[in-house]
Structure formats: structure tokens, C-alpha cells
Amino acid sequence: MSTILADGIAEIRATGTLAGLPRNHFIDGRWSTPASGERMASDDPGRGAPFAEFANGDAADVDRAVEAARAAFQKTWRDVAPAERGRILQRMTSLLREEADRFALVECLDSGKRLAEAQGDVRGVIRAFEYYAGAADKLEGARLPLAKDYIGFTLDEPAGVAAQIIPWNYPLSTAARGIAPALAAGCAIVAKPAEQTPFTALMLAELGHRAGLPAGVLNVVTGTGARTGAPLVAHPGIDHITFTGSVATGIRVMHAAAENVTRLVLELGGKSPLVVLGDADLDAALDGVIEAIYENAGQICSAGSRLVLDRRIADGFLDRLVARTRGLRLGHGLDDVDVGPVNSALQLGRIDEHVRCAKAAGNDILCGGDIVHPAGANGGWFFAPTIVAARSPSDPIVTEEIFGPVLAVQTVENLDEAIAIANCTDYALVAGIYTSDLNKANRFARHVDAGQVFVNEYFAGGIEVPFGGNRKSGFGREKGMEGLRSYCRTKSVVMRLR
């Protein structure tokens, strides 16, 4: 373990916090106090107690950030050569590598996730910056095949000033998957992290400044959705919005965007199916199911929260799954545990309410089912890893997103029924299947409604793979080259030669 990690863990254990966390917005290349002078607290979910304060922003702060971003976009950033933008992103990559442990520690404390998961997130963030650093000068546009007296081509112009609204479950990862391609494309940014998890986005903006981003290119304002997020997405100086969060808030953001006809990428919820057929490698499937639903305590939009099991293997598989689930150790993210806390008291209450309704409706709770207080934890917000045998495909335990460690199980006769069940909710984000028959895997991939399909490894892939949903899971794609094009607008140029 590095000294940064060892010292940081010791400091958190001794003081409950970390010295040197950002307290202000990052606007126009420097720390900037909130116009109102107000601050709010962020909690350590593993203790259920506040550990640090940050700026409680409002419309005045948003105005300053958007103004700084517009000036930086128009005066410098859009005209910086793509290769130079790539070099700055490369320097961000290097700095992130050097400072990875500090980012992981802060993310663990602020979001509650296990330290090992936070370290994995930071590795993914480094990879995202590396990927888009290399992509910045590879947006080639097209040559258009017109008659011989014409020259036609397209330009991929940066969209302008992009707003990023970031959720609390993957604070740094979600920030990075929007910020890195937006910078590579030549956009300036105003990002608003969730009020539950503000710190790593602020640290990323300051790191970008040290790496050579011109002042105003990357701004972060903190505060609540109502006071800071709403004025940002309604701002006429914003050219593009990337929103990741709940369906209800996404709809509000879409309404606000409509007023200014602002372009929008929405990454909303999910209730993703994970199908296990009888011919699958059942050991791999078991590992896959555990990771799909209990990683980050199930607070993942793409969690595999519906297990769709081949009836022939259901009993034996469920016995093993329940035994594994009962053995999972819960506790503070800094301790040696399998599942961390959920992010807030509010979210814990939401999960509990879903499970209470499922019980009241007569669904069978195979394990878990309650709020728990793990031995060794000093307070904190924990829900027992839970498996529910669903009564019917229309039960809310099957159709509604819970965003917690709660797995709904359904059984099916064959692949066709599995596909029908997989497609039976309003969501269509990702889907997984475990089978040794690639013909069946292919049929599933073709017929399931989802933005991404995993075969024999749930969550397989990386920054190269476009990500996003259909239907109530949203629209538009992040990651991959599609993620880069999300921040571009196409301009067609046609020249008549005489």
C-alpha cells in the first residue's frame, strides 16, 4: 500500500475526514467562493455522518461559470489544434496516474464505495483520458462524393459549452466519461457534481488546470439540483447537456433544455436483465450475477437487477446464489468488506420501501430484505444483499428500478421466453446472457432491447464501447468514438469550382 493511502486511511480513522479537500467552486481557472457565502456538508455513508463542507451554489455562480466557459471556448479552446488538446489530455492522464490514490481515497469516503472499487474507478478514469487524448486528432469528418466541379466535406465542430450533470453513484467516472471527450472535441465545460459527492470532480478540474487547460475551459460548480443544476441546464449560454441520473429528473432537464432548444444526452435508469441458460458455465454465471447486482451496493444504472433463470437449473443455482449472498461481508468502504454502504439515508429509505412493498405483495424474500447494522461499522447506511423470487412479470419488484442491492428473480422455459421477459420493462439500458451456445447468444443480442449486450461476462468492455440506453433509459451514447461525436456538430461545406 502506498504511503498516500496508508497515511490517508490513518487520517480518516483518527479524524473522520481528510485535510485539504476543496471548499469552493472551480471557475475560470481558480477556486471561487459561492456568491451566497453558503456551504453545505457531505456525508461519509459508511458512518452516516458529515465529514466536509463545500460551496452551496446558486444561479449567480452558474452565471459566472457559464460566462467563463463561453469566453474560454470562443477566445481559445475551439481554435487550439486537436493535437495540442490531445497533449493536454495526456498530461491530465499522467497527473491522474500520479495522484490516483488520493482520488480513490476521496471517492471512497464521499460515495461510500469500497476502496478497491474506487481504485478500479480511478483506473477507468485514467484510461478514459488516455483514450480521448489519443482520439482528439482523429476526428476526420467525411469527403462527400459530388460531381467533379464540386468539393464537399464535413467538419466536426465542437458543440460549444457543455453542461455535465453528474450523479452520486460514480462521481469521478461519470464526470470523466463526459469531460474527457468534451475537451477532446474542443468544448468548454461547466460540470455540476451531485450534492452528495462533490469533491473528486472539483479535484479533476484543478488537476486539468495544472495540466495546462486554459482558464475557463473546465469549470465545476457545486450545490443542489434545484439551486445549481436547474439554472445550469436552463441557461441560454449552454449549447449541450449531458445528464446522468433518475428518470424523473431527466424529464425535468429535458423540459428545461427544450426552452432553449439545447441538445441533450440523457443517461437514465435501468432494470437490466441477466439471463442464465441451462447450458452456461454456471460458476462463471454465479460470479457474474454477484458482481452485476452487489457491486457498488447495487447503485449502478446498468446493474443486473433482474435474474432470468432457465427453469431446469433454477433450484440448484438459486441455492448456491443465496448461500454466496448470505456470506457477503458488509461494512465501511475502507474496511476489508464485500459490499459497502448505500450513499445516503434517503436512498436507504427508498430501497427499504421497495422491499417492504414487495413483501406486502406476497413476493418471496429468499435472503436479506432489511436495513442492517454490520458488526464493526460505526453507524452508516446499510441494506442487506437481498434476493426476491418475483410473483409476476408485472410486479414492481421486476419493473421498477431500486438502485440498491436487491435482485429480482424470474424463471423461464426457453430463450424466447427469456427474451420476452427481458423486454418487459420500460427500461432498455443493458442486458446480459450466460450461455455456451453462441447461436442463442446472437439471437438474444439481436432481439433484446438494450443499448449494450454482455455475453458471458456482465460489465465486459471499457471506454472503447459506446454506452447508453433506449426508451426510458434515455438516448444518445457516451464512451467510444460515438461519445466523442456527441460533443461535435457536423458542418457540411460544398465548394463550386469554376
Shortest reach from residue 454's CB to ligand ADP, in Å: 25
Round to whole Å and give the CA distance between 265 and 475.
Answer: 6
Q: Which amino acid is at 460?
A: A
The least CB distance from residue 384 to ligand ADP, in Å, is 21
In the complex, least distance from residue 252 CB atom to ligand ADP, rounded to whole angstroms: 4
Tell me the residue nearest to ligand ADP as measured from the CB.
225
Q: What residues between 196 and 225 interact with ligand ADP by CB under 6 A?
A: 224-225
State the nearest-atom distance from the C-beta of 107 to ligand ADP, in Å: 15
Stretch that binds ligand ADP, among 109-117, 142-150, 249-257, 473-481 (CB under 6 A): 249-257
**Binding flag, residue 476, ligand ADP (CB under 6 A):** no
- Beta-bridge partners for 498: none
Residue 214 or 223: the one with the smaller Cβ distance to ligand ADP is 223
Counting contacts by CB under 6 A, is residue 260 touching ligand ADP? no
CB of 305 to ligand ADP, least distance (A): 15
Question: Is residue 252 near ligand ADP by the rule CB under 6 A?
Answer: yes
**65 in contact with ligand ADP (CB under 6 A):** no
List 246, 260, 399, 423, residue binding ligand ADP (CB under 6 A): 246
Strand pairing category for 371-372 and 382-383: antiparallel
The contacts of residue 14 (CB under 8 Å, 6+ apart) are: none
* CB of 242 closer than 8 Å to CB of 486: yes
The gap from C-alpha 381 to its chain's centroid, in whole angstroms, comes to 21
Cα 273 to Cα 286: distance, rounded to the nearest angstrom: 14
230 φ/ψ angles, rounded to the nearest 5 degrees = -60, -50
Nearer to ligand ADP, 340 or 480 (CB): 340
Give the residue with the Cβ less far from ligand ADP, 415 or 429: 429
Least distance CB 214 / ligand ADP (angstroms): 26
The H-assigned helical ranges of 16-114 are: 59-75, 82-98, 100-111
Print the binding letters for residues 397-436 with ligand ADP: x by CB under 6 A, - otherwise.
----------------------------------------
Q: In this chain, which stretch among 80-88, 134-142, 244-252, 411-419 interacts with ligand ADP, using CB under 6 A?
A: 244-252
10 Å Cβ neighbour count for 22? 21
Exposure of 146 in the CB half-sphere (CA atoms within 13 A): 15
Q: Which is nearer to ligand ADP, 68 or 194 (CB)?
A: 194
The residue (of 233 and 289) whose beta carbon lies closer to ligand ADP is 233
Distance, in Å, from the CA atom of 347 to the CA atom of 292, rounded to the nearest integer, reads 19
CB of 295 to ligand ADP, least distance (A): 18
Closer to ligand ADP by Cβ: residue 91 or 177: 177
Return the number of other C-beta atoms located less than 10 Å from residue 84's C-beta. 12
CB of 168 to ligand ADP, least distance (A): 6
Q: How is residue 389 annotated by DSSP?
A: E
Residue with smaller CB distance to ligand ADP, 344 or 411: 344
CB nearer to ligand ADP: pick between 225 and 273: 225
Between 201 and 280, name the residue whose CB sits nearer to ligand ADP: 201
Catalytic residues: 267
Selected from 58, 130, 195, 310, the binder of ligand ADP by CB under 6 A is: 195
- Residues 106-145 vs ligand ADP: string with x where CB under 6 A? ----------------------------------------
Q: Going residue by residue from 138 to 177, which x/- string records binding to ligand ADP, judged by CB under 6 A?
A: ---------------------------xxx----------
The binder of ligand ADP chosen from 194, 418, 433, 441 (CB under 6 A): 194
Alpha carbon distance, N-terminus to C-terminus of the chain: 69
Q: Are 458 and 292 in contact (CB under 8 A)?
A: yes
For residue 128, give Cα distances in angstroms to 80, 81, 244, 358, 491. 21, 20, 17, 39, 27
192 binds ligand ADP (CB under 6 A): yes
Q: Applying CB under 6 A, what is the total number of residues that bind ligand ADP?
A: 17
Q: Measuring CA to CA, which residue among 210, 414, 416, 404 is closest to residue 295?
A: 404
CA neighbor of 237 nearest in space, from 264, 205, 260: 260
Cα 437 vs. chain centroid, distance in angstroms?
31
The CA dihedral of 89, 90, 92, 97, to the nearest 10 degrees, is 150
Binding mask 223-242 for ligand ADP (x = CB under 6 A): -xxx--xx--x---------
CB 490 within 8 A of CB 156: yes
- Phi then psi for residue 111, to 5 deg, are -95, -25
Per DSSP, the residues of 157-192 read EE-SEEEEE--SSSHHHHHHHHHHHHHHHT-EEEEE
Does position 253 interact with ligand ADP (CB under 6 A)? The reply is: yes
Residue type, 98: E
Q: How many residues would you count in the chain?
A: 498
Binding residues for ligand ADP, rule: CB under 6 A, are 165-167, 192, 194-195, 224-226, 229-230, 233, 245-246, 249, 252-253
